[in-house]
Amino acid sequence: MQRVLVTGAAGFIGSHACEAFAAAGYDTVGVDNFDPYYDRRIKQTNVAAIEAAGAHFREADIRDAEATASLFDVTKPDVIVHLAAKAGVRNSEKFPAEYVRTNVNGTQSVLDAARRNDVERVVMASTSSVYGSASAIPFQEDDPAAAPLQPYAASKRAAEILAGTYCSLYGLQVTVTRLFTVYGPRGRPDMMPYMLARSCRDGTAVPLFDGPLERDWTYVGDIVNGLVQAAEHPLGFEILNLGRGEPVALAEFIDEMAAAAGTPPVLEARERPATELLTTFADSTRARDRIGFNPTVSVHEGVERFWDWFATTA
């Protein structure tokens, strides 16, 4: 049985990833530092879920290089799924140094520990935000992604480049997965699906930027299946888009949420900031060809699943 170490395990995607790897037969260990970006109690609930699925959990901070090295010495993972990151696009404009420290320096700590422990391969989460507004549509992995619009995206692009260097210099096998607008149960409170659901239930106002905005909404279950597939296909250094490949207008997504909830959200018109992309659209051909990535959950079905979770849990 191979051991996989999942960083960011107490978060939205990380907790689902731990469950998916445990279900796939991996000896799964999750690690998280409970970053205070949102309520620790939410993350503790996520940890309870991954432990119930058979995964183990350790609290540690990847920004601490010595602690990360010690973690690897103790857990001795075969595979790393590196999801830990400082999240929040707009928050990164206020605190850019924190994003560099976690998303770049923290990633370096993980890569250093991986190469020193002869880890077989690393799967690393990046973001569709790296493409910026200058990229051709649909987004393809060979785009230079040289003009991210916010510190968050810039820090993730820097981490990608660093991973490529570790591959060429040290022989570390790294697959970077660029994730597209992930949503689903356990979604963060600052994300649009959660805010819309809360508005439908409680009547709280949700800021709505002018557009029209389109997003390549991708259900979390499809994403974590892609992460497992990436872990099982060593590719040297590779970048893969993980997205459904079917952009849906934000207005249509809002209608789906209103239908699931039985009541519309309260929307508050706002001017779109320069850091907000109009469209995200994944060309996932490379991921389909190289790891068998095949998203199956429609936005209609995904929103219904999200609402069912929110209505009974959040």
Rounded to whole angstroms, the Cα distance separating 287 from 238 reads 10
pLDDT above 80 (res 15): yes
Query: What are the DSSP E strand ranges found in 198-314?
Result: 205-209, 214-215, 218-219, 237-242, 248-249, 266-270
Contact between 192 and 249 under an 8 Å Cβ cutoff? The reply is no
Backbone phi, psi, residue 66, to 5°: -65, -40
Rounded to whole angstroms, the Cα distance separating 246 from 281 reads 7
Mean pLDDT of the chain: 96
Percentage of the chain beyond pLDDT 70 is 100
Pairing verdict, β 79-82 and 3-7: parallel
Contact between 33 and 60 under an 8 Å Cβ cutoff? The reply is yes
pLDDT digits (tens, 9 = 90+) for 203-233: 999 999 998 899 999 999 999 999 999 999 9
Q: What is the mean pLDDT of residues 174-184?
A: 98
Confidence category of residue 175, pLDDT binned at 50, 70, 90: very high
Catalytic, out of 152, 166, 194, 219? 152
The alpha carbon dihedral of 72, 74, 75, 77 has a sign of: positive
Contact between 149 and 131 under an 8 Å Cβ cutoff? The reply is no
Q: What is the mean pLDDT of residues 68-81?
A: 97
Rounded to whole angstroms, the Cα distance separating 250 from 215 reads 7
Rounded to whole angstroms, the Cα distance separating 16 from 184 reads 10
Q: What is the mean pLDDT of residues 180-207?
A: 97
Q: How many CB atoms lie within 10 A of CB 126?
A: 24
Annotation says 219 is catalytic: no
Predicted confidence at residue 314, as pLDDT, reads 83
Backbone phi, psi, residue 13, to 5°: -70, -40
Token readout for 240 is 């893969």
pLDDT digits (tens, 9 = 90+) for 249-260: 999 999 999 999
Query: Which option is the CATH number for 3-187+219-245+280-296: 3.30.450.20, 3.40.50.720, 3.40.50.10490, 3.40.190.10?
Result: 3.40.50.720
pLDDT digits (tens, 9 = 90+) for 18-42: 999 999 999 999 999 999 999 999 9
Numbers of helices and strands, H then E, in the chain: 12, 13
Rounded to whole angstroms, the Cα distance separating 5 from 110 reads 11
pLDDT digits (tens, 9 = 90+) for 125-151: 999 999 998 779 999 999 999 999 999
Q: How many CB atoms lie within 10 A of CB 205?
A: 11
pLDDT digits (tens, 9 = 90+) for 39-52: 999 999 999 999 99
pLDDT digits (tens, 9 = 90+) for 76-111: 999 999 999 999 898 999 999 999 999 999 999 999
**Edge-to-edge strands, sheet with 79-82:** 56-59, 27-32, 3-7, 79-82, 121-127, 174-179, 237-242
pLDDT digits (tens, 9 = 90+) for 275-310: 899 999 999 999 999 999 999 999 999 999 999 999
Report the predicted TM-score, pTM, of the whole model to 2 decimal places: 0.97
Listed by start position, the domains of the chain span: 3-187+219-245+280-296
Predicted confidence at residue 134, as pLDDT, reads 76
Predicted confidence at residue 63, as pLDDT, reads 97
